[in-house]
Structure 1
Amino acid sequence: MSSWPHDWEGQPDRSAYTTRDSIDYIWYGLGLPADARDFLEVNLPEEDEKALPSSFKIGHLAQASICLSALSAALFHSQVNQSCEPRRISVPLKHAAVEFRSEHHYLLDGKPRMSSWGPLGGLHKTADGHVRVHDNFLNHRKAACDLLGLDVETVTREEFAQKILQWKALELEKAGMDSGAVIFALRSYQEWEESAPGKHIMKGYSFPVRVHRTGPQVGIPRSVAAHIPRNADRLLRGVRVLELSRVIAAPVAGKTLAAHGADILWVTSPNLPSLPDSDIDVSRGKRTTQLDLDTAEGVKALHALAQGADVFLQSYRPGSLAARGFSARELAESNPGIIYASLSAWDDGYGEGPWSSNRGFDSMVQNASGMNVSEADHFGDPAIPSRVLPVQVLDHAAGYLLATGINAALYRRATEGGSWEVSVSLAGVMKYLRSLEQYAGRDGFECEPLGDILQYLETRETDFGNLSAVKHSASVEGKEPGWDVMPKKLGSDEAKWL
């Protein structure tokens, strides 16, 4: 059983990569200095061991991506302070693995979270295979029901499944894309690689994080801006991040930047549904305000905030914010030096490819790209056509890699000037994870238990009650990460910078 086809000429084989190899590869690929590694020490307890029951090297990617996010923040801090003070960054493997599932581990007043999965979604049989339906958001659930001729208010799961059984998988996938529903056919690796989006993504992506300068050197490097203090208590203290995001990847990026001291202003829409049970975990460290971009006042307020931001972080469907006047080009014109960071499902960073503007979520990328079929094959039960991974690995890895790319852009803006764009996609992360190869045969499903999860939690008061949630797994000598702001009701803060 091969997880990486032999006919992919020129594709990288990272099957022998250690966790440190991945850290080095991405660090140098982002154009970050080699000599910084002389004073930024990396400590990886339990590195290269198995952490979670999967044929995929999830622990490897968790430890590497979280370490990179802290390492790159430390680099920016050293640039701000013009200092090469030695600093150790530690990321224990088991803690990193727990943090890759943080949205499922928190307790509110001692009680576990309720499931955010919708009543109709998941894997369903079709006339010729299977599809996976995403219905966590009510608008997506309604779109799927409308497509199938069902009433979203009264439909049962059995009725929903019977309607899907009348469709062919690829035809339903296409109809879903045309109607606003989120439905993807279950594919094997071979089926994915033979499809148009699979060919584009698997042959086109070369690196999981895209960082590039979009304008010439301008003005004074932002590292000396008045709102970014020297000798601060945390690595990113004072950095202003305007976040417009939805679950889970981009919010993880914002939460990670917040852990290192960045001022995150999370902007949500009063017109869109939320997932409060998921939002609680990823909203730690963030102030929250609401703006209605369907109004002139809301657009004006967001433009005013963008004028004072260091980073504009967004994960809406590609092109949707640009259509409202918030493209990378327009924001760079009004605020030279801004970093525009985007998270998407399928976009390659160039807006190309047959699915580049399509909606997508971690579970959909796993499903469509062959990961779930391969995981089931490795598990070895022929009765199971699809096996989901034990964590939302693409979401979490994408979030930490996006934070890494933002930190790299902050550093390079300080040293080179210019405005910058950063982009990460779930599909690009999927490709990198696959390039690490899977454990052979049925190996990987047996691993040491993570132990008592409570040891990784901290308890704080919030607007919703006492929250016990996973602490950040990266430790930074002398600049320990942590969250100053605890989850609060959406729209609790004014739309202004501190």
Structure 2
Amino acid sequence: MPDLPLAVADCAIDAVAACLDAAADLAEARTGRRPDVMLDPAHVAAAVRSEALLRDRDGNGIEGFAPLSRLWRAADGWVRTHANYPWHRAALHRALGDNIETAIAARSATEVEQMVYEAGGLAVAARTKEEWRTGGPLRRIDPTGGAVRPVPLDRMRVLDLTRVIAGPVGTRMLAALGADVLRVDDPNRPELPLHAVDGTIGKASTLLDAATPDGRRTLDYLAGEADVIVTGYRPGAMRKLGLAPDQIAGRHPGKVVATLSAWGTGEIWGNRRGFDSLVQVATGIGWACSADGERPGALPCQLLDHATGYLLAAGVLEALTAGEGAHVSVSLARTARWLLDRPPGRAEEPFDPDAYRVDLGGGWTGIAPPGRFDGEPLRWPREPAYGAAAPEFTRRA
């Protein structure tokens, strides 16, 4: 792989290392002994490509992007759209009609961006690093009150309200570290086939309609039973369900609530949806990776998703070690700034993904969780089974 101007390998390693170190710190706080941590950089390189390296029994993967999720030439630059989900494709057509290429070519990139977002879709104009400014710490931890349960990770319960890649990466890593993770999805918005497998590795997965009274009651009960609640929906969406961090702290003190967003809360586009590919283009990563300076490029993997997922898990573990209820917040845009502000790093060494491939169950194979504790490799505790579990935690207090 050719050298890139961005420290992709270093950021990936640092994010995973932060998670493993935080887990070791929590183990020391709980047991009085800190396990020895080991990390293989080649394993990290495979892990941050997990969705691309997922294989069925015939050795086939699943395509991650729909045809309308791509770069388009606008009248004055470039636009990146995201239309993997059917409701996003419908919004893109509402905004631009049937001939999307012609409609984009006739307008400025920022005009297309605004039109599509107003229609409920997703599109961003390609910007340089200087044109995009966002602040805030890489991961923020704000105390919310109440003492957390002082239990080891193998007694920890995590309520996973995330989708796609970043949130599921963070919660499945918590599962690999020993937590009992229950992922909840809306049956009216089914997950895509790729993420229905890759995003449920290591977890129990259930379907729950929070728009119904029974569903709301069950979701609030699960929040009360959980030690950690992780949400990956855009800012404001959880408040409608009574699951914003301050609402949870009011009803269920002593919880660690982690929120993941694309653009960050209270910052540029804080109320908008977003995905890794869009954040890359909007924040200047696309131009930083351009091969010719004429067309935006892309990172060699969905690094923002994966690094942010591991940083989310690290923040959760740090909050648990502190012993107090807390709100942990991370965003893809902050991770993008972290990457962009670093000096150029080392190029990735060639790696064999099959060296880290494991049987996931159900005919699927994928990449094992990265890291070793006291020489023992981490393992996925459950095979992926989207929506197959009851809405309850396996382990009790």
Q: TM-score by structure 2 length?
A: 0.95
Amino acid in structure 1 at the alignment position of 2:389: D
Amino acid in structure 1 at the alignment position of 2:86: L
Q: Is the 8 A contact 2:96 2:116 kept in 1?
A: no
Who wins on radius of gyration, i.e. which is larger? 1
| Matches for 1:80-479 after TM superposition, within 5 Å | 80-81=30-31, 83-85=32-34, 87-150=35-98, 159-192=99-132, 198=133, 201=134, 204-205=135-136, 207-215=137-145, 217-218=146-147, 221-224=148-151, 228=152, 236-347=153-264, 351-376=265-290, 379=291, 381-382=292-293, 384-413=294-323, 417=324, 419-438=325-344, 448-450=349-351, 452-462=352-362, 466-477=363-374
Would the alpha carbon gap of residues 492 and 356 (structure 1) be closer, same or farther in structure 2, given more than 3 Å must change?
same
Amino acid in structure 2 at the alignment position of 1:328: P
Distance in 1, matches of 2:364 and 2:121, equals 34
Amino acid in structure 2 at the alignment position of 1:497: F
Distance in 1, matches of 2:30 and 2:348, equals 42
Distance in 2, matches of 1:247 and 1:318, equals 16
- Aligned-pair distance for 1:430? 0.8
Q: Is the 8 A contact 1:286 1:485 kept in 2?
A: yes
SS at match of 1:107: coil
| Matches for 1:20-99 after TM superposition, within 5 Å | 53-81=3-31, 83-85=32-34, 87-99=35-47
Q: Which of 382, 391, 396 is the matching residue for 1:495?
A: 391
Amino acid in structure 1 at the alignment position of 2:331: S
Amino acid in structure 1 at the alignment position of 2:361: E
Structure 2: 5+ residue runs without aligned partners?
Answer: none
- Aligned-pair distance for 1:478? 6.0
Distance in 2, matches of 1:333 and 1:273, equals 31
Q: Is the 8 A contact 2:205 2:387 kept in 1?
A: yes
- Aligned-pair distance for 1:71? 1.4
Distance in 1, matches of 2:210 and 2:68, equals 30
- Aligned-pair distance for 1:114? 2.2
- RMSD between superposed Cα atoms in Å: 1.7
Distance in 2, matches of 1:461 and 1:253, equals 21
Structure 1: 5+ residue runs without aligned partners?
Answer: 1-50, 151-158, 193-197, 229-235
Deviations 1:298-323 (A, max 9, x none): 00000011111000101001110112
Q: TM-score by structure 1 length?
A: 0.76
Distance in 2, matches of 1:329 and 1:479, equals 39
- Aligned-pair distance for 1:53? 4.6
Q: Is the 8 A contact 1:402 1:424 kept in 2?
A: yes
Amino acid in structure 2 at the alignment position of 1:461: G
SS at match of 1:223: coil
Amino acid in structure 2 at the alignment position of 1:495: P
More divergent stretch after superposition (401-410 vs 90-99) = 90-99
Would the alpha carbon gap of residues 141 and 76 (structure 1) be closer, same or farther in structure 2, given more than 3 Å must change?
same
Distance in 1, matches of 2:234 and 2:114, equals 17
Would the alpha carbon gap of residues 52 and 492 (structure 1) be closer, same or farther in structure 2, given more than 3 Å must change?
farther
Distance in 1, matches of 2:239 and 2:45, equals 35
Distance in 2, matches of 1:411 and 1:479, equals 22
- Aligned-pair distance for 1:116? 2.3
Distance in 2, matches of 1:394 and 1:119, equals 22
Amino acid in structure 1 at the alignment position of 2:65: W
Percent identical:
33
Aligned residues: 394
Q: Is the 8 A contact 2:38 2:371 kept in 1?
A: yes
